[in-house]
A and B are shown apart, each in its own frame.
Chain A
Amino acid sequence: MTTTLTQTFKIPESLRKGIKYSFCPGCDHGVAIRLVAECLDELGLREKAILAASIGCSVTAYDFLDVDSIEAPHGRALAEATGVKRARPDKFVFTYQGDGDFASIGLAESLHAALRGENLSAICINNTTYGMTGGQLGPTTLLGQITTTSPTGRNVEYYGYPIKIAEHVALCDGTAFSARVSLDTVQNIRKAKQAIKKAFEVQLQGLGFGFVEILSTCPTNWKMTPQQAHVRVREEMMKIFEPGIYKDITVNK
Chain B
Amino acid sequence: MSHIVIDSDKCKACYLCIEECPKKLIKISEKTNKLGDHYVEFCDPEHQCIGCAMCATRCPDLAITEVYRG
A and B touch in the complex (CB under 8 A): yes
Footprint of B on A, CB under 8 Å? 3-11, 15, 19-21, 23-31, 34, 186, 189-190, 219, 226-227, 230
A169 to B25, CA, bound (A): 42
**B65-A11 in contact (CB<8A):** yes
Q: Note all chain B residues with C-beta closer than 8 A to A227.
A: 15-16, 19
Can you offer 23 A-B residue contacts whose CB atoms are under 8 A? A4-B70, A5-B68, A8-B67, A8-B68, A9-B4, A11-B62, A11-B66, A20-B9, A20-B61, A21-B60, A21-B61, A23-B60, A26-B12, A27-B60, A31-B57, A186-B54, A189-B58, A226-B16, A226-B60, A227-B15, A227-B16, A227-B19, A230-B16
Q: Which residues of B contact A10 (CB under 8 A)?
A: 65-67
B65 contacts which chain A residues (CB < 8 A)?
10-11
- B13 CB within 8 Å of chain A: yes
Residue of B nearest to A27 (CB): B60
By a CB distance below 8 angstroms, the chain B residues around A25 are 12-14, 37, 61
Specify which of A3, A9, A23, A226 is in contact with B67 (CB 8 Å cutoff).
A9
Nearest Cβ distance between residue A1 and chain B, in whole angstroms?
A: 8
Say how far B66's CB is from chain A's closest CB, in angstroms: 6
Bound-state CA distance A23–B57 (Å) is 17
Q: What would 6 more interface pairs be, CB under 8 Å, given A6-B70, A8-B68, A9-B56?
A: A3-B1, A5-B2, A9-B64, A11-B66, A30-B61, A34-B62
Inter-chain contacts of B15 with A (CB < 8 A): 226-227
Point out the residues of chain B lying under 8 angstroms from A186, CB to CB. 20, 54, 57-58
- B19 to chain A: closest CB distance in Å? 7
Cβ contacts under 8 Å, A21 to chain B: 10, 60-62
Does residue B69 face the partner (Cβ distance < 8 Å to A)? Answer: yes
B69 interface neighbour in A6, A27, A34, Cβ under 8 Å: A6
Minimum C-beta distance from B37 to chain A (A): 8
For B9, B16, B58, B65, the residue with the greatest tally of chain A CB atoms inside 10 Å of its CB is B16
For A8, A19, A24, A30, the residue with the greatest tally of chain B CB atoms inside 10 Å of its CB is A8
